[in-house]
Amino acid sequence: MQSYRLEDIGARLFYQDLPGGGPPLVMLHGLGSASSLVFPRVASHATLQGYRSILVDLLGFGYSERPTDYDYAMESQAKNVARLLDHLQLRNCTVVGHSMGGSIAILLADARPDLVGHLLVAEASLDPGPGLISSRIVCVPEEVFVSRKHAQFHEQMLAAGYCAFASTLRVADPQALYRSAVSLIAERNPSYREQFYRFTHHKTFIYGERTLPNPNEEKLRAEGISVRVVPNASHDMVIDNPDGFSQTIADAIVAAGDARQDVV
């Protein structure tokens, strides 16, 4: 693991920088997860191992530090990723964001399109309102979640058999989880959807096969957005089928390259 100190926040952002060539891959995890756990197998897959991969643990999650007076807003996390990419002198990245990470990736691409050449969003929230995980977090006040509900939530996920998610959930900062969930589901103007639609570089939306049918799929296709499906996978597609998720990313990268050549 490497780290980059965010001086104004007084906290270190930890990340893995895996060597390779071509446009770098930047991977952002979902709510309660950690890139350091879920993405190494993806980045090392035969179809992707030639690329340089940056696996970011967002502040409050995984190995990254947990400032107590931080807002953990999605926009703040997107700015932190932008600062890391600037520090690494990277541009035109392929940014892969799963769930909450996809929402952050959209904000990053909208604010700093110079950093993002291809945006791949895996079942991120495009519209305001709670999802399956966030709804179980924000249903109580912050102090209740931090003092009691976080530990209970971890035990529930473990008992339900979501062992990988439970392991990252256990080490995630409770305050970071809560404030992230509140920010994630809040209304925005423009919304995630509007920002995603207006991004002018190549973009892909990824579903897990078991979450379909979804009425949002046709809306995305109607906007000319490439939609891909990870077979034998639910929303937790990175854990359910990491090989299929890797292949889906690789296929999307190839298709984007072919599309750019057609334009030229």
What does the pLDDT look like over 84-136, one tens digit per residue? 999 999 999 999 999 999 999 999 999 999 999 999 999 999 999 988 899 99
Average pLDDT, the chain: 94
Mean pLDDT of 175-199: 97
What does the pLDDT read at residue 49?
Answer: 85
Whole-prediction pTM value?
0.95
For residue 36, is pLDDT > 80? yes
**Residue 264: band (very low, low, confident or very high) from pLDDT cuts 50, 70, 90:** very low
Q: Alpha-carbon distance 80 to 49, whole Å?
A: 25
Domain boundaries, the chain: 2-127+187-263
What does the pLDDT read at residue 117?
Answer: 96
What does the pLDDT read at residue 259?
Answer: 53
Mean pLDDT of 162-171: 92
What does the pLDDT read at residue 261?
Answer: 41
Q: Tell me which H or E stretch contains 178.
A: helix 174-185
Is the Cα dihedral 116, 79, 11, 170 positive or negative?
A: negative
Mean pLDDT of 202-221: 95
Q: Tell me which H or E stretch contains 84.
A: helix 74-87
Q: Alpha-carbon distance 101 to 56, whole Å?
A: 10
- CATH 3.40.50.150 applies to domain 2-127+187-263: no
